[in-house]
Amino acid sequence: TVIPASLSKNMAAISRGADQYHQMKMMKWPIQVSHLITLSIVALLIIFCATWFGFYLAKTLTIPIQELAEGTRRVAEGDLNFTINGVTDDEMGTLVDAFNKMTRDLRAGKQQLELSARELRERNLEIEQRRIYMATVLRNVSTGVVSVNGTGFISTISKSAEEMLGLKGEQVLNRSYKKVLSPEHLELAGELLEELENSPGNSVERPVRVTIDRTVRTFMVHVTALKDDKNRYMGIVVVFDDLTEIEKAQRMAAWREVARRIAHEVKNPLTPIKLSAQRLRRKYGDQIVKDNSVFMECTQMIIDQADQIRNLVNEFSSFARLPASNPEPCELPEIIEEAVALYRETRPEIVFQFDSEPDIPQLNLDRQQMKRVMINLIDNAVAAMNGKGAIGVALSFDPILRIVRLEVSDTGIRISPGDKVRLFEPYFSTKKTGMGLGLSIVSAIIEDHNGFIRVQDNKPRGTKFIVELPA
């Protein structure tokens, strides 16, 4: 049988298709595996790329953040020179730029602050040096200085002012002067402030007399108002000098001149008066029979009164012309013992006690003048007794101040505060029969020996004189 050609071609095509199918069927798994491998490789590449991109993206974010954290820690520790590099153009770059600007500003601020602090330290050092200098000046000037600020509080007081006013700086500084001053002194301060307000020159000066520790003292006071460049009131400064000793010296000089003139004018006629009375007694004593006793009594009274006036004139002369001291090394306890011994014998009704420390140094003294001082002081104590009592003499030495202190105390009548102020003035006496020259002479002798004498109440009664002499 003959197969048609078309059929033969179809059968050949079918046969080839079947063969191809069988071949394709046999290649199915390898092709599938190949595709799976390709797909896996592509997937792995995609995962790797995604991971790399993720790490890259994380790196661009976390590293600047870590650097910012590290920079913040360094800045907190004080390192203001720290900067972050590798700035990008995104938001993180803006944040890094802001951080770097912040550190630059902090660094500049720190430098400016250090410069200001250094200038402030230098200014404070200068102010402290000026304050120390002013404090040293105020501590060493003899003039008293007190400043009061605009609110009435005491801001400055010199050492001399403390001593003159009997105040302590720590007790009055930064306190209102109204609470510090006594009513009497506050009234005086009010008068001075009123004068200051009415003064065209913002200052007032006048002498004042005040009582301090029951002692009347004279001060020359100068009060000045303090104002700044804009004429605003800042307070006042009070400057004062103690004129008490100057006044005392002036009064002493005046009284000495009076004493010198009195002695000169009175002494001249005394000798002829006394000689005339003695001549009358010799010439007419035997001739006058009637009233002879009266004649003799009257002439004797003239002679006695002339002698008494001569003694008075001699006292005037002694006060007016105290002999210049002739100091030489002396044992003060011996001088005191000699003076006390004189009174022990003549005043047995009075108990005399002399106590002396064993280490009293030798002093350069005029022996006769110091003995006169002791006699006058003991005389004054005896006169205050009006009879029985006790007089104590104590001698001590202060090795720190190098001062020998002599105390003469009695148990007699105390001296009133008003009399204490004038006690060492010439011709002032609390005794009816006193001439008022003894203590003036004592004060002059002590001053001539560069010493100091003062009087105070004795405990429990009486008066105590204290003499301080430099060793």
Q: Tell me: cis bond preceding 323? Omega within 30 of 0 counts.
A: no
* % of the chain beyond a pLDDT of 90: 9
130 vs 153, 198, 226, 229, 310, CA distance in Å? 22, 33, 19, 21, 64
Residues 46/54, Cβ–Cβ less than 8 Å:
no
The pLDDT mean for the chain works out to 81
Q: Does the pLDDT at position 137 exceed 70? A: yes
Looking at residue 323, its pLDDT comes to 57
Q: Does the pLDDT at position 76 exceed 70? A: yes
Q: What is the CATH number of domain 21-125?
A: 1.10.8.500
For the segment 293-314, what is each residue's pLDDT rounded down to a tens digit?
Answer: 777 888 888 887 877 777 666 6
Give domain limits for the chain.
21-125, 141-242, 248-320, 328-470
48 vs 40, 41, 56, 60, 246, CA distance in Å? 12, 10, 12, 18, 111
Query: How many residues would you count in the chain?
Result: 471
pTM of the shown model: 0.45
Contacts (Cβ under 8 Å, ≥6 apart) of 165: 144, 212
The residue among 280, 363, 288 whose CA lies nearest residue 329 is 363
For the ranges 18-22, 128-132, 334-338, 339-343, the maximum mean pLDDT occurs at 334-338
CATH classification for the domain delimited by 141-242, as one of 3.40.800.20, 3.20.20.70, 3.30.565.10, 3.30.450.20 = 3.30.450.20
Q: Domain 328-470 adopts which CATH fold?
A: Heat Shock Protein 90 (3.30.565)
Helices (H), 182-291: 183-198, 244-284
* DSSP summary character for residue 176: B
- Measure CA of the first residue to CA of the last residue in the chain; give whole Å: 176
Q: Does the pLDDT at position 87 exceed 60? A: no
> Please, what sign has the CA dihedral across residues 22, 26, 32, 34?
negative
Query: The tokens of 460 are what?
Result: 């429990």
Mean pLDDT score, 433-447: 74
Q: Does the pLDDT at position 405 exceed 90? A: yes
How far is Cα 67 from Cα 55, in angstroms, rounded to an integer? Answer: 17
Supply φ then ψ for residue 362, to 5 degrees.
-70, 145
